Structure 1
Amino acid sequence: MSRRIPPLNPLRVFEVAARTQNLTLAAEELHVTQSAASRQIVVLETYLGVQLFRRERHGVTLTRAGARYASQVLPAFEMIAEATKDLTKGTSQGPLRVRTYTTFAAKWLIPRLAEFRALHPSIEVRISNDVPDVDFDRDPVDVAIQFGDGHWKGVQTDLMFHDEIEPVCSPRFLTTHAPETKYPHSLLRQRLLVSRYRRSDWDEWLRASDLVDEAAQAERMDFGSTLLSWQAAADGLGTAIGQTELLSGEFASGHLVRPFAKPLLSSRAYYLVRPQAQRETHKVSVFRDWLLSVCAPVLERQKTQ
């Protein structure tokens, strides 16, 4: 048998009017006129077939039936309010929980976090690392930074910047194996360092640069992460495929160089990912604004390439 539940808007007006014992105060709390609140009470009384309030010269008072009904309805609304508070406090309060990849966190996000903390010292940022796409129903995070084509179901996405790849190696490795800087192609006959999660990068870059044959006989050495392949390149084990935007620090310090200076801009990109249905909190809003402002110059440069 289906439950009989009265219309919820009139019930909400009754709850506030019964709690405040004042129709004017109830109308103010609900941001409606007193006459509108009064009409909602009439709707509820008509539905129930019971008078809930006495209309008196100086206001309203609960009838005996109204008081009995209020004694059960008010605790129910309080339970709903507490349940809502409990459900939303994890997203509106506490630290900003960001999920991304280890490589992106280490090489791009963490070096820039000091700037965000200086602008918003009251917002603590906690970073977690994982490879699979985020599931906001399953994963305890507020936002994620993901890599792909931007077509994920049930989320909102903001383009940060496109993927840009090219070979990188140490200065010493370049000098040893390609002493003629105008002809770095001999590097491609040496060891190529391959990341497990970016296994196709070398082949994509070689095809786009028309250098597949040059690297046909090269030894390939696999690593479990992109970070490890870059460290191996910095230590002179071979040439890795770098993600240009993520290695600006290594280029500036001279630990890695770009021997070909021929970056390949792919169709994939980094995106800020947010829940589609969830109301955006202040901490998410300011982090999004800051992140996109930092990425804007990169996107502008990539548009001109």
Structure 2
Amino acid sequence: MARRIPPLNPLRVFEIVARTNNLTLAAQELHVSQSAVSRQIAVLEGYLGVELFKRERHGVTLTKHGETYASEVLPAFDSIAAATARLLRNSSQGALRVRTYTTFAAKWLLPRLPAFQEQHPSIEVRIDSAIPDVNFDRDSADVAIQFGDGGWPRVNSDLLFHDEIEPVCTPEYLKTHRGPRGKLDALLKHRLLVSHYRRTDWDEWLEFAGMTELASGSERMSFGSSVLTWQAALDGMGIAIGQAPMLKAELDSGRLVRPFAMPWSRQKAYYLVRPQVQREPRKIAAFREWLLDTVAREMA
């Protein structure tokens, strides 16, 4: 048998009138007129078939039925209010939990994070690295930075930047392995460094550049992450596919160079994602604003 629950808005009005014993105070708390409060009480009394309040010259008082009903309804509303406060407190307080990839954290986020902490010293940031897409119902994360096409269900996503890739190596490696009269094709006949999770990058860039045949017989050395792949390039072990936004410091300092100067911007990109249905606390809003501002400034 279905449970009988009265209309919730009239029930809420009843709770406030019973708690305050005053129609005027109830109207002020609800930001409505006193007559609107009276109408809602009448709706509830009509549903229940009993009189809940005595209308007297100087206000209202609970009837016997009203007192009995209020003794159980008011604690129920107290429990709802307490549960809501706990939920909001747990979601809005504490550290900001950011989920992303190890490479993005190490090469992009961490070098820039001190600027966020300087602006928001009261917000602690905790970074969790993982490969699978975030599931906010399952994972302990407030926001995530993910790679893809931005079409994830049940999340709001902000585009950060597209995936721009091209070969990188050290200036010394370039000098040693380029061909006669500086021909660059020779670089592709030596060792190509490959990241396990981005193992198609070389083939896709070579196709884009029209150089697939030049590297058809080249040795390939694989590493477990892009960070290790780029470190191998820095150590002069070969030439790697770099992601320009991740290697800004190395490229700006000249530790790595882009010998072909042929960047390819792919359709997939990095996005900031957060739950679609969420009461967005200040810590999330602050981090989102800082992140988008930082990206926009650097892209400009």
Query: For this structure pair, what is the TM-score category when the shorter chain's length is used for normalisation?
Result: over 0.9
RMSD: 1.5
Contact 2:179 / 2:185 at 8 angstroms: preserved in 1?
no
Tell me the percent identity. 64
Please name the residue that 2:18 is paired with. Answer: 18
Please give the residue correspondences for 1:210-249 in structure 2 after superposition, counting only pairs within 5 Å. 210-249=210-249
1:75 Cα deviation (Å)?
0.9
Residue 217 (structure 2) pairs with residue 199 (structure 1): no
Worse overlay, 235-244 or 248-257:
248-257
Alignment match, 1:166:
166
Using the alignment, how far apart are the partners of 1:202 and 1:179 within structure 2?
A: 20
Aligned residue number for residue 49 of structure 2 = 49
Instruction: Return the offset for 1:194.
Output: 0.5
Deviations 1:178-212 (A, max 9, x none): 27684222111111010011011001110111111
How far apart, in 2, do the equivalents of 1:181 and 1:106 lie?
38
Q: Is the 8 A contact 1:18 1:70 kept in 2?
A: yes
In the alignment, structure 1 residue 178 sits paired with structure 2 residue 199: no
Do the aligned residues in 2 keep the contact of 1:136 with 1:275 (CA within 8 Å)? yes
What secondary structure is seen at the aligned counterpart in 2 of 1:164? strand
- Structure-1 separation of matches of 2:49 and 2:117: 59
Question: What SS does structure 1 have at the residue aligned with 2:122?
Answer: coil
Q: What code does the residue aligned with 1:217 have?
A: G
- Give the Cα separation in 1 of the matches to 2:88 and 2:130: 24
SS at match of 2:259: coil
Q: Which residue of 1 aligns with 2:123?
A: 123
The residue identity in structure 2 corresponding to 1:9 is N
Q: State the one-letter code of the partner of 2:45.
A: E
- Letter of the structure 1 residue corresponding to residue 214 of structure 2: E
TM-score computed with the length of structure 1 as normaliser: 0.94
Please say if residues 162 and 299 of structure 1, whose CA atoms lie closer than 8 Å, have aligned partners that are also in contact: no
Q: Is the 8 A contact 1:193 1:240 kept in 2?
A: yes
Equivalent residue, structure 1, for 2:93? 93
Cross-structure match for 1:303: none
Query: Measured at CA, do residues 35 and 181 of structure 1 come closer, stay the same or move farther in structure 2, by a change above 3 Å?
Result: farther
Residue 112 of structure 1 aligns with an amino acid whose one-letter code is R
Q: Aligned pair in 2 of structure 1 residues 68, 54: CA closer, same or farther (>3 Å)?
A: same
The 5-angstrom pairing of residues 83-162 of structure 1 reads 83-162=83-162
Cα distance in 1 between the residues matched to 2:133 and 2:90: 21
Q: Aligned-pair distance for 1:279?
A: 2.2
**Cα distance in structure 2, aligned partners of 1:66 and 1:11:** 12
Shift of 1:254: 2.7
Could you tell me how far apart the structure 1 residues matched to 2:188 and 2:90 are? 51
After alignment, is 244-253 or 227-236 more displaced? 244-253
Gapped regions of structure 1 (runs ≥ 5): 301-305
> Which letter maps to 1:260?
F
Shift of 1:12: 0.5
CA–CA separation in structure 1 for the residues paired with 2:265 and 2:181: 23
Residue 196 of structure 1 contacts residue 223 of structure 1 at CA under 8 Å; is this kept in 2? Answer: yes
2:53 aligned partner, one-letter code: F
Per the TM alignment, residue 90 of structure 1 is displaced from its structure 2 partner at its CA by: 2.4
Aligned equivalents of 2:96, 2:131: Cα separation in 1: 19
Shift of 1:106: 0.8
Q: Which amino acid aligns with 1:30?
A: L
C-alpha contact 2:166 2:243 (8 A) present in aligned 1? yes
Q: Partner amino acid for 1:144? A: A
Can you give the 5+ residue segments of structure 2 that lack an aligned partner in the other structure? Answer: none
Secondary structure at the aligned position of 1:4 is classed as coil
Give the 3 Å change call, closer, same or farther, for CA 237–49 of structure 1 in structure 2.
Answer: same
Q: State the one-letter code of the partner of 2:23.
A: L
Contact map agreement 2:104 2:246 (CA 8 A) in 1: yes
Match of 1:39 in 2: 39
CA positional deviation for 1:291 = 1.2
How many residue pairs end up in the alignment? Answer: 300
CA offsets, 1:256-291, max 9 Å, x none? 221111111000100111111112222212211221
Contact 1:160-1:299 within 8 A present in 2 as well: no
2-side partners of 1:151 and 1:97: how far apart? 22
Query: CA offset at residue 28 of structure 1?
Result: 1.4
Say if 1:226 and 1:18 are closer, same or farther in 2 by CA, change over 3 A. Answer: same
